Amino acid sequence: MTDATTTESPADAYRGDPTRGKLLEIATYYLFIGIVGFGGPLVHIAMMEDDLVGEGSREWTDESTFMEGLAICNMLPGPASTQLGIFMGWIYAGNPGAIVAGFFFMLPTFVIVVFFSWLYFAYQELPSVEALFYGINPVVIGLIVGASWSMAQSAFAEGRRDLEFELGDETWTIDYLLVALLAAAVVATATLGTNPVVQFVVAGAIAVAIYRSTWVREHWRRVSLWTIGGVVAGIAFALRDRLFDLLGPATRRTIETSPLWSVLLAIWANPWVQLFAFMVYTGSFIYGGGLVLIPFIELYVVGEFGWMTGREFVDGIAIGQLSPGPVVMTTAFVGYKLMLDTYGLVSIAVVGAFVAMVGAFGPSFAFIMGFFPYFARVRENDVIQSALVGVNAAVVGAILGATVTLAAESFVDTFTVLLAIVTCLLFVRGVHAAYLIVGGGGVGMAWFVLAL
């Protein structure tokens, strides 16, 4: 007789066991958070720590596990507070708990965004609505720049101390390399339309080469192979539109007459497939917070696909900011618009919003439920940490670069430029985004009334 041995997977050290009572508790708690959690991710995180961790709370986990989860969620692509909510549901009640936590956390924000999307597209042609967003559009630009200001300060602080100075009551630590990476990302996004993922990879590689030069020299063979592979992949990506032509007439004819090719073309022509695939792609690479979706959507949704105008996208960001959840929910606005234009039915547009949300947030569920223990190990790797320092700077640059393009449509006169500047200054000084958006709408309506 032999003893059966079982090996515990790395995930088992974190994942909880689901019960009906636990799932109901998770659903009610995250529905509550989703409704009242105005104030952004910091408020969500503080509420979860206070309500779920340690003595006197619901005691879903201990402080060290919570902090580890928070650190890893900050490292992963996607909205950190949403991923932390998924993580807390996962460690308390396993995969069902993660799904329930994420669903009910996002549900109130989804309902709000869909409702305002319906109002916006139903009445956007009215002069009063145009006047409302005349004031809101520059406010959103100011909010993005203000948020980028804070993100840049945090990104620079992770690097070397080449320069340090006081600016008001804030201390800035400057790393010249990170400043250069940020500036390069601004230029690449605003003028060249470079894919943000390419920018992030290049910035991470440069940071490793500079910060970990000793490691690079010690592992030069591996680094050389990765460099060659990266260059080949970069060339293939840059020439992707011409690769098919380089195959030759006979090869192209064989491919084009293949039944599989016809099936693939038919699948990709389906707007549902395009929407879901793009949102999964976006959700997998929005590293550094929800605002990182701005360069992705500006480049593809506004530019390449033409699903909406830049002005409509800025309006969608405003709608996302008015909700208590993550700004990534702006993707639901995009899905709503695409399916409304395609089918002309509100009911199908709502389904489009849901598909976009599932695609954008799906990677967050996969990262936590499938790969969390592995990310926990990777987080301790010094080379990965050095790469992320460079990526953080490029993220801020990509956001600012995309904002330059969007501002061109939002700034219609001197007054809107001044409104954006005032908004940025107020936001940096702690005024809540929702108040500024409502105030901007009020300014726009006042302009409308005075113009009558």
Structure tokens at 324: 């208590």
- At 38 the three-state DSSP class reads coil
Give this prediction's pTM. 0.80
Tell me how far apart the alpha carbons of residues 402 and 242 are, in angstroms, rounded to a whole number: 26
Q: Is the pLDDT of residue 1 over 50?
A: no
The span from the CA of 354 to the CA of 275, in Å, is 11
pLDDT at site 4: 45
Query: Is pLDDT above 50 for 313?
Result: yes
Q: Classify 234 as helix, strand or coil.
A: helix
257, HSE (Cβ side, Cα atoms, 13 Å)? 6
pLDDT of 243 over the 80 cut = no
Model confidence at 31: pLDDT above 90: yes
Assess whether pLDDT exceeds 60 at residue 36.
yes
pLDDT band at 67; cut points 50, 70, 90: confident
Average pLDDT for the chain: 84
Q: Is residue 149's pLDDT more than 60?
A: yes
Q: Compute CA 399 distance to the chain's CA centroid, rounded to the nearest angstrom.
A: 11
- Convert the pLDDT of each residue in 319-364 to its tens digit: 887 777 777 888 999 999 999 999 999 999 999 999 999 999 999 9
Mean pLDDT of 86-90: 92
Structure tokens at 157: 């602080």
For the cut 90, the answer to whether the pLDDT of residue 421 exceeds it is yes
What single DSSP character describes residue 126?
S
Give the residues across from 163 on adjacent strands: 174
pLDDT at 246 over 70: no
Helix (H, G, I), strand (E, B) or coil at 77: strand
Q: How many CA atoms lie within 13 A of 217 on its CB side?
A: 5
* pLDDT class of 247 with cuts at 50, 70, 90: low
Burial class, 125, CB count within 10 angstroms (exposed 0-12 / middle 13-18 / buried 19+): exposed
Q: Which helix (H) or strand (E) holds 164?
A: strand 163-167
* 221-230 pLDDT per residue, tens: 877 887 777 7
- The residue among 410 and 348 whose pLDDT is bigger is 348
Helix (H) / strand (E) element for 131: namely helix 127-157
Instruction: Render pLDDT for 187-199 as a digit per residue (tens, 0 to 9).
Output: 998 888 778 888 8
Q: What is residue 9's predicted lDDT score, i.e. its pLDDT?
A: 58
Residue 270 has pLDDT above 80, yes or no: yes
Q: What is the mean pLDDT of residues 209-221?
A: 85
pLDDT, position 3: 46
How much of the chain is in helix, strand and coil states, percent to nearest 5?
A: 80, 5, 20
Asked whether the predicted pLDDT for residue 30 surpasses 90, the reply is: yes
> What is the per-residue pLDDT for 103?
94
pLDDT, average across residues 135-152: 87
Quick check: 6 pLDDT over 60? no
Q: Lowest-confidence range among 33-42, 203-212, 344-353?
A: 33-42
Q: Which residue has the higher pLDDT, 227 or 112?
A: 112
Distance CA 17, CA 7 (A): 17
Residue 389 backbone phi and psi in degrees, to 5: -60, -45
- pLDDT for residue 5 is more than 50: no
User: Which two structure tokens, joined as six digits, stand for 42?
Assistant: 């910091």
Q: How far apart are CA 35 and CA 69, in angstroms?
A: 23
